[in-house]
Structure 1
Amino acid sequence: MSVTAFELVSYWRIAAPLDRVWAEIVDVDAWPSWWRAVRKVERLRDGDIEGIGAVRRITWATALPYTITFDVESTRSEPMYQLEGRATGELNGVGVWTLTSDGDITTVRYDWRVDLGKAWMRAFAPILRPAFAWNHNVLMGWGEADLKTRLGLG
């Protein structure tokens, strides 16, 4: 694997029914209202009735002193189970949300296979690779905590 490529997996465990968690994950436009790392979501293109083909430009504030912006096109949706998007721009790759439930507990798995697109990130990847992975984990941890708060669980 290239030093600029990452395969990251995050797990959230949410004490809420799957339908409530799914509704928040698929409503990307609302992420800035509850996920502290998401600064802005711009709708660039609507998708079909299931959202396939929709494109959002998402700007993230990170735990490190930089922001990152990339476009995400929805490429696959299996309602109440899986959502996939292809990122292009300052990050390039594929992200897959997979949700499963056991009663009122929903497990969210996020697989992020991505390559760095920003020139400075690519240049410093050999040194900063662990920091970039740590940063991703912090952002995802915020997402889990913030979603729990949004759902009245925090």
Structure 2
Amino acid sequence: MTLTAPRRYRFVSQWHIPAETDRCWQALCAVDGWPGWWPGVREAQLFAATGTIAPGTRARIIVGSPLGFHLDFLLSLTTVAAPHAAELAVSGDLCGTGTWRAVPEVSGTRMTFEWAVASRRVAVNACSPLAGWAHRHVMAAGERGLRELLSPRTGSGGC
């Protein structure tokens, strides 16, 4: 991993999932299963000895960027208000914070993901003009995957 001066990124994504908030939360808690429904997530490993999601829970994630490189980072849960919100610390190829919020709606759940991260990787920062596009691509694939996972036709997902 070659390093350079850190470059900061801020991304906000909204998903609308036609499923109850509890089911969305359960699917996100099942981190080990993300590669099965979230294209782009190559590996996901949850480190939760107790089997519960609580502050201090960590997960290693490897994402394949559509720009041709991988991002390897650790998510550490700092705050949780299940099933409506979580805050994360991010370290590794990306460093910073992430926030997830869920709002129940008549037709399902509106989920908002916010990332305020920085990277010192040359490959990442060389592609910074395309970072927003790459992030939207990966997140849109995740939304489609979660919609399919939680569709009444395909199953329930969850932890």
- TM surpasses 0.5: yes
- 1:53 CA displacement: 0.6
Match of 2:139 in 1: 140
User: Cα 1:144–1:74, aligned 2, differ >3 Å: closer, same or farther?
Assistant: same
- 1:98 CA displacement: 0.2
Structure 2 residue 12 is the aligned partner of structure 1 residue 19: no
Q: Work out whether residues 46 and 53 of structure 1, in 8 Å CA contact, stay in contact via their aligned partners in 2.
A: no
Match of 1:78 in 2: 81
Query: Between the two proteins, what is the percent identity of the paired residues?
Result: 26
Q: Work out whether residues 48 and 54 of structure 1, in 8 Å CA contact, stay in contact via their aligned partners in 2.
A: no
Which segments of 5 or more consecutive residues in structure 2 lack a partner in the other structure?
A: 154-159
The normalised TM-score by structure 1 is 0.87
What SS does the aligned partner of 1:144 have?
Answer: helix
User: Cα 1:151–1:44, aligned 2, differ >3 Å: closer, same or farther?
Assistant: closer
What SS does the aligned partner of 2:134 have?
Answer: helix
- 1:27 CA displacement: 1.9
What are the equivalent positions in structure 2 for 1:1-154 lying under 5 Å apart?
A: 4-44=7-47, 46=49, 49-122=52-125, 124=126, 128-152=127-151
The normalised TM-score by structure 2 is 0.84
Distance 2:95 2:11 in 1: 13
Cα RMSD after superposing both structures:
2.2
Matched positions, count: 149
Which segments of 5 or more consecutive residues in structure 1 lack a partner in the other structure?
A: none
Distance 1:40 1:84 in 2: 21
Quick one: higher RCO (CA 8 Å, sep 6+), 1 or 2?
A: 2
